[in-house]
Structures are given as C-alpha cells and as structure tokens.
Amino acid sequence: MGIKFGTDGWRAVIAKEFTFDNLLKVAQAHADHLKEKNAKKVVVGYDTRFMSEDFGSAVAEVFCSNGFEVVLSKGHCTTPALSLVVKDFGADEGVMITASHNTYQYNGYKIKASYGGPATVEIISSVEEKIGKTKPATGKTNWKEVDINQHYIDTLKKYITPGVFNQKPEKVVHDPMHGATIGLLHRILEDTLIDVIEINHYRDAFFGFKHPEPVEKNLPLLRGKTVAEEAVAGIANDGDGDRVGVVDEAGEFLSTQIVFALLLLHTIRNRKIDGAIAKTVSTTYLVDRIAQKENRKLFKTPVGFKYIAELFLKEKIAFGGEESGGYGFGFHIPERDGLLSGLMVLEMMHLHGKSLTQLVEDLFREFGTAYYKRLDLKVEGNQGRALVEKLKKEPLKELAGKRVKDVDLTDGVKLIFENDGWVLFRASGTEPVLRIYVEMPEKEEVDMILEESKKLVGG
C-alpha cells in the first residue's frame, strides 16, 4: 500500500504502517522535494504521542544527512508553535510529528510551509511522488535543539492586551488532554492574577484511552472541575494544540459554532483587525449575520482548514475558522491555534467584564439564537456517498416540515431552510461514515431535523 497524505498530513497506525522504515522514506522524499527548491533550513517538532521524540530525531537525522541546517524541538511542542518557528526562524519548511486528535494508536507527519501554515497541495504532491525513489540518508546528527515552546509563549504573551488579566484574582481550568499544550497556559499567565488549574497535565501516550479531541463527550472532568473550582471558564486543547474546546462557568460546553462567533466579534470589534472573514460551509449562520452587520467580505470554503489557510495567503483575512474548533487570526500565522483561541476567549470576557453565559446571551440578543449538533453516522458500505449523490440530483423541497429555500453544493449537500437553519450531509472519504451537521434557531428543531435526516439513509 502506497503512503498517501490526507487533508492534514500522513497519519497511520504505529508499528503497522507508521514504522521507522516508512517514516525515513517520507522524510527522504521531503528532503528531495526541498533540494529541488535549493532549500537550506528545516524545523522539526513532535507531540506527546508514543515515541514521537524518537520519530522526530529520526526525521531530523535524515535532513541533517542530506545537508540541511536542522532545528529540532527541545521537548514536545504544539503544531502552531512549530508553524510559528518555521516562519519566524526563516526556515524553508517544517515537519511536525503528530496525529493531532486521532486515537493513541496513530502517529503522523505534517508538513508546514515557510509562511507558518499548512503545506499547499503542490508541496504535498511533490513529496508524495518522491516517496520510495531514493534510499534514506542517515548517520549525521548535527542538528540544533531549540525550545520551540518558549518562542511560542513569548509571542502569545505579546498579543495579550496589557493588564487585562491583572484586574482581579480568578481561576481558569486547563485540560491539555495529555497532549502538547501541557503547562503552556500556566506559563503564559503565570505573571497575572489568573490561577490556572491543570487537569490531565501529564504525558500519557494512551490519552486516558480517549480521543484527544476537545469535544463535549470527552470533557466530563473539565466540566465538573470548572464548576467545583468556581472557575470563570474551562479551556481544552487537542493532542497537538491546534483546536480548542470551551466550557462556561456553569460547566456547560460551548458549541464550536458559538465560540467561532464570539472570537470573530472579539477580533474585529475589540482588537480592530481589518480584513475579510473566512468560514467553511459547515459553520454557523451567525457568521454571515455578523459579516453583514460589520460590512465585512465573507469567504465560504469546503470543509478543512487548509482552504481557510489558502485564503489567508491570498486575501487580507481578519479571522477564519471551521466547525471542528480550529480558528486562525489575522494578527498571527495562517494556522489554527487552540491555545491562542482559548486566550482570546478569556481576554474577551475580561475586557467586557462579563461571564461566558452573559456573552452568549448578548450574541443571541444581537444576532439571533443558534443551536447546533453534528452526528457521525456509521453506514453500510457506500450508503453515505449514495445518499449525498441522490440529494445532489434530487434536492429535497422540505424536511421535517421545514421548507428548503436554497441548496449549497460547496462540499456535500447543504439544505438551507427559510429561517436560516440548515442541514449538511457529507460522506467521509476514508471510512463508512455519513456526517450530518444541523444548526437551527430552536433546540428542539435540531433533534427533529437530525431524526428526519437519519431516516433518509438507505431510503
């Protein structure tokens, strides 16, 4: 089986496809690609997964043995930290050893471009076609080790509005989910009046036998701890730190769609960042309403942050993100950053002097209510794709009594109702799963639309 990169790097099961032999082949192909561009410098980072530091050293050895100047992370780091250092240190490209939010069995190889964001399709294609063509070079270990996290922390500290976290003593609970953000929020806020209480803050290559993904079902401890400590918020980050999950003072998980809208408002109103807005097709209609009211151009893309990152490179973008909790800021790099997102949520609360519950109430009062759920439905064989194709050819006129006013085929099939509510059907390209995304103005409508949508499968 050939090694193929997915939407965000090459990921595979450790000791099955993700072996040292295959890793060295990928690294050598990447080195060959960079040699064609007369590149000189590469940065290599790694997360807290099983043997990630060994895999990182193996990759660094291949690049050293191919004559590159190599910077290797001194200890585990986050993906946004690696991306930032690639840009700030003037590297040609970077490698991050991570499988992001995948389960513990996986590891992976992400390529980061010189601008500090995801590699382009052209870069990935160039590397892929070279895999296995050249015997991996090894033997040289003259890399330079750098504390990548320290440079990242110093940068994030500079973004914070001066004095905003020195108004009064408060508690925040941080859940790095045993991943690469362990200790980082504490290090950023250690000189402020914010007391950061950490949970799951030790390295566990099994991630507590959970997905290291900051979604509601994985965060019962964060929800409970936030209430028990009387904290103002709970912040969770995924395995490599590029996504965020937020819990309010009552222990309620905030939908990633609501977090998107709050961060967007904070970026353009409080921080006064100029530029357009970028969102994926699976993202809340609140963004459209905010863009209209603030007179900002709005770009809509297929699902996947790589499309948002491309827009950051081509256009002046103030803020962009996706439904899965990955958000990018115009004053930072064209990359998702989960820790920075958490910091900006806290900054917004402190600038307004309001709780998250109050901020959400304000949001709904100004732009209307929005409730959201996503269902990843396991289907038989080709059922998911077949339904999506059928809906493309024969779009529904109504669903669960709601009239369809528009159909969006940007990615899958999105049915938009008269009240701005919507349902999106997308078939996974890698597994027998149909993803159903629903957003409606009323909570009850969300479950109603989901139930009716499930009935369409196999129908």
What is the homologous superfamily of the domain 256-367 according to CATH? Alpha-D-Glucose-1,6-Bisphosphate, subunit A, domain 3 (3.40.120.10)
pLDDT for 367 equals: 98
CATH 3.40.120.10 fits 153-162+170-251, yes or no: yes
SS3 104: coil
> Distance (Å, rounded) from C-alpha 29 to C-alpha 130?
5
pLDDT in tens, the chain (459 residues): 589 898 789 999 999 999 999 999 999 999 999 999 999 999 999 999 999 999 999 999 999 999 999 999 999 999 999 999 999 999 999 999 999 989 999 999 999 999 999 999 899 999 999 999 999 999 999 999 999 999 999 999 999 999 999 999 999 999 999 999 999 999 999 999 999 999 999 999 999 998 899 999 999 999 999 999 999 999 999 999 999 999 999 999 999 999 999 999 999 999 999 999 999 999 999 999 999 999 999 999 999 898 999 999 999 999 999 999 999 999 999 999 999 999 999 999 999 999 999 999 999 999 999 999 999 999 988 889 999 999 999 999 999 999 999 999 999 999 999 999 999 999 987 678 999 999 999 999 999 999 999 999 865
The pTM of the full predicted model, rounded to 2 decimals, is 0.95
pLDDT for 458 equals: 67
What six digits make up the tokens of 198? 């950490």
Which residue blocks in 244-284 are alpha helix, DSSP H? 256-265
pLDDT for 308 equals: 95
What strand order describes the sheet that includes 402-408? 371-378, 433-440, 422-427, 413-417, 402-408, 398-399
- Per CATH, 153-162+170-251 and 256-367 having the same topology is answered yes
Residues in the chain: 459
What six digits make up the tokens of 189? 């806020």
Helix (H) or strand (E) holding 424: strand 422-427
Q: For residue 180, what are the contacts with CB-CB under 8 A and spacing of at least 6?
A: 47, 48, 76, 77, 78, 79, 81, 98, 237, 239, 240, 241
236 bridge partner residues: 175, 245
Q: For residue 302, what are the contacts with CB-CB under 8 A and spacing of at least 6?
A: 280, 281, 410, 411
Contact in structure between 163 and 191 (CB atoms under 8 Å): no
* Burial of residue 454 (number of CB atoms within 10 Å: 0-12, 13-18, 19+): middle
**Percent helix / strand / coil, the chain, rounded to 5:** 35, 25, 40
Give the start-to-end residue ranges of the domains of the chain.
Answer: 10-148, 153-162+170-251, 256-367, 371-455
* Burial of residue 170 (number of CB atoms within 10 Å: 0-12, 13-18, 19+): middle
3-state secondary structure 311-335: HHHHCCEEEEECCCCCEEECCCCCC
Helix (H) or strand (E) holding 378: strand 371-378
User: Considering just the CA atoms, what is the radius of gyration of the chain in Å?
Assistant: 22
Contact in structure between 193 and 160 (CB atoms under 8 Å): no
> Distance (Å, rounded) from C-alpha 260 to C-alpha 264?
6
What six digits make up the tokens of 81? 């930290």
CATH 3.40.120.10 fits 10-148, yes or no: yes
What is the homologous superfamily of the domain 371-455 according to CATH? Alpha-D-phosphohexomutase, C-terminal domain (3.30.310.50)
